[in-house]
Structure 1
Amino acid sequence: MKKIGVSLLTAVLGGAVAVGGYKLFEDKQFNQMTLEEQQKVYYANNPAGEMLSSTGNPDFTQAAAAVSPGVVHIKVTMTARGSQRGGGSSPFDMFEEFFGMPQRRQAQPRQAQASGSGVILTPDGYIVTNNHVVENADKIEVQLTDKRTFEAKVIGRDPNTDLALLKVSATNLPMVRMGDSDNVQIGEWVLAVGYPLSLQSTVTAGIVSAKGRQIGILGESQQMPRGYGNEDQQIINTAIESFIQTDAVINKGNSGGALVNARGELIGINSAIASPTGVYAGYGFAIPINLAKKILDDFKEFGSVKRGFIGVTFTEINEALRTEKGIDDINGLYVQNVVKGGAAESAGIKGGDILTKIEGRPIYSSSDLQERIARLRPGDKVKITYKRDGKEKDVTLTLKAEEESKAKQGEGGSNASATEIFNKLGASFIPATDARKKELGVSSGVVVTQVHKGGVFEYFGVEKGLVITEINGKSVNNVDDVESALTGTRRNIVRIKGVPQRGSTVELNVPIEY
């Protein structure tokens, strides 16, 4: 009997160890998945009742109830340094207008506050919002519909798509299921969920008014790399705009919130309105979720966006261009120049060709091409159809990476929290690979993958590519280590030790107030 008891106990303990070991393995594998894969695993293990798209008299009660808990209120604190904006206004009102720009210059910085919305994508706290909601943030707070509040850190942000990925330390959070924005139809019922005009969670309904809209409000300008056939470098806009337009009511504060279909699936991130008054006038714009998926996964994996480039400059075909160039085509993109050594040149595309299709889909406007390419990374292949001398030809291009021509070579505690200091630094990090650490002769390190405009790192000239080995005397190997080490900040000075891309170890004392 005693032997049976011992055997039973051994079996139970063995089973528990096996289950525990499997759980640890399972959690590690889960964290390495993309955000969309994590959602699929979650919903496979936590099935929800199917919500049918509305017909006849629309009823959005199920969709609203399912989505609202996963849409959060984002409250931002930032340092205002005086008015930098001139007079006049634009009919396209980005929600950044509510950031409260002061009316006259101030000698000393002061604290300003703003708010927006965000959407929870995973139960462990990854949240998507707009870049313009958090780009100047010193401190970010996220409040759920049940009034729980968390401090958030920025994992990555991109002005060219107006997307940002945040992370809070939490578990079992409500989330919104991702849909497929490619399947969205004009005239389809949609809901906008967010926190407009400082109100609590608000749901409005409308339809999809248009797709692939370009409204010219996003992005940064940069110099065109040499090799385009131009004697002088040109300034080009690198924005990627292919908005879903809706007449669901959205206002200031909805920015970063959810646009969902009648099944409660996330199809877009609300970003902008077109308005002569600054408040709702019937036209709202959302970033398609299929574009956002790739950008957000880049943030999660690399800390910054990895973009692939075709290597062409082009012009949309219009009547004036048709007359000037003697073009018979009505649709497509006229290739002005190709980058020497770029993907297009390697595939045989030349200036004067007309790009007519991408992956077999007709190209009607620049957004048709740019939005598809923006979903891909350097090294990915894409099929392009072009026309020359009246004949079409299919070629497969291998996208190239972005040109690097403009890459930038005490006592007492801090009043700021570690997360607030992290956001104030204005940078994204990823763990240094073992090979990189071996090359530099260091045993720890995170790589600075992005330096955000307006942050402390940019102000003091900290460059991309720097491998940071220690912060405040503590070794760092990942983003959580960075945040943990920042708790040791004294007198608002962050002590950093690192190795640049070229050179010996450097030590920096970086003030978080300047």
Structure 2
Amino acid sequence: MSSPTDSNTNPLIAFSQNLADIVEAVGQSLVAINGQRFPCSGIYWRDGLIVASEETIKRTEEITATLPNGETAPITLLGRDRSTDIAVFKTEASLPVVSIDSDGELKAGNLAIAVGRDAERGLFVSQGVVSTVGDSWRSSLGGYIDRFIRLDLNFYPGSGGSALVNAAGSVVGFNTTGPRRSILTIPAATINRVVDQLVEKGQINRGYLGLAMQPVYLPEALIAAFTLNTKQGLMVVNVESQAPADQAGIMLGDVLLKIEDTPIARLREVQAYLEPQNIGKTVTIQLIRAGALQNISLTIGESGRSK
């Protein structure tokens, strides 16, 4: 007769052992990033490259990483993108490249395994579930995130940048904190896209208008007069000299209604047009100026260049 502790007949023992094996395998690609105000984890994503949560990176010089074997190695910040919360480091250390699943079909209720590394205590794990999976979204800074993934698990010190691992043992992204201390995952597809750009340029140059705007409600008389299908617009409160908006003739007090045929009532709807692929593109902006409806052509500039 088989013993209750026999892993061949007890599914709980088999599950526990499989989970431990997955954590051990992923852990060989995880580092602890030192020299920061708060501890954080990093993932050996590609040969010579470590990715981490940008919001955890406060220092940019004299940074080291604690490797799986306990040794400490210097790492150099290659680039960072606040809008997607991604930082990339170069390292001379050689670790196994993590197994990545950028196409996995996560569902609410799937097992969520967060694996990180602490410089003193080594590997740590938090297990929970994927609580929400949604479509692409934009961060408060306008960064395009390919999928919305929210987790229900404990977030320990050092969990920023920890790997989200699926039941197959592949990494589907890294974990970070969102609004109201929610736990979100930056998916692998987003990480790959941003890493490509940071490796090539060292930064993410996005579209640039040179405008400061704030949402405003439109008077009912204007809505009726122009048969508008929106009750809000974005009022211009500042125009940078010689910026694309200034060169296009946009003025203080203008109320922007549309870019192309898309209504813009929130800043995030403008940010959607400022992805790198739109740099240099000429768009038509519909606005209200002094009670009159106007269309203005504007060529999207590039952030980071002299204005």
Residue identity opposite 1:127 in structure 2: I
**Which residue of the partner structure matches residue 321 of structure 1?**
217
**Which residue of the partner structure matches residue 287 of structure 1?**
186
Which of 283, 292, 301 lines up with 1:400 in the alignment? 301
- Asked if residue 121 in structure 1 is aligned to residue 26 in structure 2, the reply is no
Alignment partners' CA distance in 2, 1:364 and 1:266: 37
**Secondary structure at 1:270 match in 2:** strand
- Asked if residue 68 in structure 1 is aligned to residue 27 in structure 2, the reply is yes
CA offsets, 1:427-478, max 9 Å, x none? xxxxxxxxxxxxxxxxxxxxxxxxxxxxxxxxxxxxxxxxxxxxxxxxxxxx
**Which residue of the partner structure matches residue 175 of structure 2?**
270
Alignment partners' CA distance in 1, 2:247 and 2:170: 37
Which of 244, 256, 261 lines up with 1:352 in the alignment? 256
Which of 191, 203, 219 lines up with 2:125 in the alignment? 203
Alignment partners' CA distance in 2, 1:369 and 1:63: 42
Deviation at residue 128 of structure 1 after TM alignment: 0.7
The structure carrying a bigger strand percent of its residues is: 2
- Asked if residue 308 in structure 1 is aligned to residue 230 in structure 2, the reply is no
CA offsets, 1:276-325, max 9 Å, x none? xxxxx7x2133344443333223212222222236666667xxx837767
Identity %: 22
**Which residue of the partner structure matches residue 191 of structure 1?**
113
Q: What is the TM-score when the length of structure 1 is the normalising length?
A: 0.41
**Which residue of the partner structure matches residue 173 of structure 1?**
96
Which of 357, 376, 386 lines up with 2:276 in the alignment? 376
Task: In structure 1, list runs of 5 or more residues that go unmatched.
Answer: 1-57, 78-98, 100-113, 217-237, 276-280, 389-395, 407-514
CA contact under 8 A between 1:244 and 1:285: conserved in structure 2? yes
Deviation at residue 76 of structure 1 after TM alignment: 1.6
Provide the alpha-carbon RMSD of the alignment.
Answer: 4.8
**Which residue of the partner structure matches residue 248 of structure 1?**
153
Deviation at residue 351 of structure 1 after TM alignment: 4.3
Alignment partners' CA distance in 1, 2:57 and 2:67: 17
**Which residue of the partner structure matches residue 131 of structure 1?**
54
CA contact under 8 A between 1:206 and 1:249: conserved in structure 2? no
Residues 1:403 and 1:170: Cα distance change in structure 2 (over 3 Å): closer
Deviation at residue 353 of structure 1 after TM alignment: 2.2
Residue identity opposite 1:157 in structure 2: R
CA offsets, 1:40-63, max 9 Å, x none? xxxxxxxxxxxxxxxxxx997375
CA offsets, 1:23-72, max 9 Å, x none? xxxxxxxxxxxxxxxxxxxxxxxxxxxxxxxxxxx997375455332222
The structure carrying a bigger helix percent of its residues is: 1
Higher relative contact order (CA 8 A, sep 6+): 2
CA contact under 8 A between 2:84 and 2:139: conserved in structure 1? no
**Which residue of the partner structure matches residue 8 of structure 2?**
none
Residue identity opposite 1:402 in structure 2: S
Which of these two proteins has the greater Rg computed from alpha carbons?
A: 1
Alignment partners' CA distance in 2, 1:303 and 1:157: 8
Residues 1:163 and 1:148: Cα distance change in structure 2 (over 3 Å): same
CA offsets, 1:335-388, max 9 Å, x none? 434976459969xxx943245988xxx999755764x55753564769999999
Counterparts of 1:446-457 in structure 2 under 5 Å? none
CA contact under 8 A between 2:100 and 2:172: conserved in structure 1? no
CA contact under 8 A between 1:155 and 1:165: conserved in structure 2? yes
Across the two proteins, how many residue pairs are aligned to each other? Answer: 266
CA contact under 8 A between 2:205 and 2:304: conserved in structure 1? no
**Secondary structure at 1:353 match in 2:** strand
Which of 156, 176, 185 lines up with 2:79 in the alignment? 156
